[in-house]
């Protein structure tokens, strides 16, 4: 609770019956927003696989959800910066799930770096972690979705690139790039009945954010800009993602959905 504001950290109660039995792959699903998405899809009865580099957190998540989900989530350990490993992970997920209907490109890392400290190596590293894998995961998933008769790709961008934040130049560029990539992929994959949309979260307070970047003062300052005076948490991103993955948004593609409490 921040400054007397109550924040509900619960998953959506809405039921998307068309997601039952669907094959869902989520990148960066071991913690934070990704873990909430894994749980959200699992509770809809979907067959869920997720890719992450953090094995301990990911295996703990699988064990926690195994007793409460119809289908035990599948964890695939892989470094998304390694394109060969990424492609293998996507194909492995499709095989383990029986089909691949939904891809959620969630993985990201919002490292701070001063303008004067950015190097070619650090820039390329940020693009590999935040942008490049979004394309190559989609590239690997597309053939599986074509065989399934269509699908939905949900890319996670961020409002960060619209906030003029001076200490995240590479991250901001990557998150802005995801919007352009979403539209390009939507144009290419639309004839195959594959929809591609993006979610732009606001300042979502996760354990990692609390540890590295965000304190109560920062939360209060952002909430003052929001129309809805609630601290955003990982679970707040689940409902919008379920909607974009489901048939409820069957004619929606090439769109960017902002979930920030009303900053923009």
Higher pLDDT, 79 or 7: 79
CATH code of the domain containing 241: 3.40.50.720
Give yes or no for residue 7 having a pLDDT over 90.
Answer: no
User: Of 178, 163, 43, 6, nearest to 104 (Cα)?
Assistant: 178
Q: What mean pLDDT value characterizes the chain?
A: 95
Condensed to tens digits (0 to 9), the pLDDT of residues 179-231 reads 999 999 999 999 999 999 999 999 999 998 899 889 999 999 999 999 999 99
Residue 209 lies in a domain: yes
Tokens of 168: 């995240």
Residue 160 lies in a domain: yes
Condensed to tens digits (0 to 9), the pLDDT of residues 48-82 reads 999 999 999 999 999 999 988 889 999 999 999 99
**Structural domain boundaries, residue 96:** 20-259
Cβ neighbours of residue 258 closer than 8 Å, sequence gap 6 or more: 159, 200, 202, 264
Residues 125-145, mean pLDDT to the nearest whole number: 98
> Of all residues in the chain, what percent carry a pLDDT higher than 70?
97
> Of all residues in the chain, what percent carry a pLDDT higher than 90?
91
Residues 92-118, mean pLDDT to the nearest whole number: 97
Give yes or no for residue 3 having a pLDDT over 60.
Answer: no
Can you give the pTM of this predicted structure? Answer: 0.95
Split into its structural domains, the chain has a count of 1
Residue 9 lies in a domain: no
**Sheet containing 256-259, strands listed edge to edge, beginning at the edge strand earlier in sequence:** 74-77, 47-52, 23-27, 102-105, 151-156, 194-201, 256-259
Q: Which of 171, 199, 201, 202 is catalytic?
A: 171
Phi, psi of 197 (to 5 degrees): -135, 170
Residues 19-31, mean pLDDT to the nearest whole number: 98
Q: Is the dihedral of CA 27, 69, 259, 210 positive or negative?
A: negative
Residue 3 lies in a domain: no
Condensed to tens digits (0 to 9), the pLDDT of residues 165-184 reads 999 999 999 999 999 999 99
Residue 2 lies in a domain: no
Tokens of 226: 């929001």
Cα 141 to Cα 151: distance, rounded to the nearest angstrom: 9
Residue 181 lies in a domain: yes
Tokens of 241: 């993602």
Per-residue pLDDT, 4: 39
Give yes or no for residue 159 having a pLDDT over 60.
Answer: yes
User: What is the distance, to the nearest Å, from the Cα of residue 26 to the centroid of all Cα atoms in its chain?
Assistant: 7
Residue 145 lies in a domain: yes
Active site residue 171: yes
Long-range contacts of 239-243 (CB under 8 A, 24+ apart): 239/12, 239/14, 239/40, 240/199, 241/37, 241/40, 241/104, 241/154, 241/199, 242/12, 242/14, 242/16, 242/19, 242/40, 242/41, 242/44, 243/16
Residue 5 lies in a domain: no
Cα 35 to Cα 33: distance, rounded to the nearest angstrom: 6
């Amino acid at each position: 609770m921040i400054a007397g504001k109550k924040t509900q950290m619960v998953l959506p109660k809405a039921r998307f019956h068309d997601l039952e039995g669907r094959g869902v792959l989520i990148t960066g699903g071991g913690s934070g927003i990704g873990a909430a998405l894994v749980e959200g899809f699992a509770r809809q009865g979907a067959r869920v696989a997720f890719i992450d580099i953090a094995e301990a957190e990911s295996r703990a998540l699988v064990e926690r959800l195994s007793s409460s989900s119809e289908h035990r989530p599948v964890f695939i350990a892989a470094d998304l910066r390694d394109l060969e490993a990424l492609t293998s992970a996507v194909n492995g997920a499709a095989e383990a799930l029986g089909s691949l209907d939904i891809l959620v490109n969630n993985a990201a890392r919002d490292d701070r770096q001063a303008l004067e400290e950015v190097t070619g190596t650090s820039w390329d590293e940020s693009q590999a972690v935040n942008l490049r894998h979004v394309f190559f995961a989609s590239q690997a998933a597309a053939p599986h979705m074509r065989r399934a008769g269509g699908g939905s790709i949900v890319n996670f961008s961020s409002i960060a690139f619209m906030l003029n934040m001076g200490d995240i130049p590479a991250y901001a560029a990557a998150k802005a790039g995801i919007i352009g990539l979403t539209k390009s992929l939507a144009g290419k994959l639309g004839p195959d009945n594959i929809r591609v949309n993006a979610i732009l979260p606001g300042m979502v307070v996760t354990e990692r954010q609390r540890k590295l970047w965000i304190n109560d003062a920062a939360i209060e300052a952002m909430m003052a800009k929001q129309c809805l005076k609630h601290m955003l948490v990982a679970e707040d991103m689940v409902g919008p993602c379920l909607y974009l993955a489901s048939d409820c948004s069957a004619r929606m593609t090439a769109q960017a959905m902002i979930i920030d409490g009303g900053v923009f």
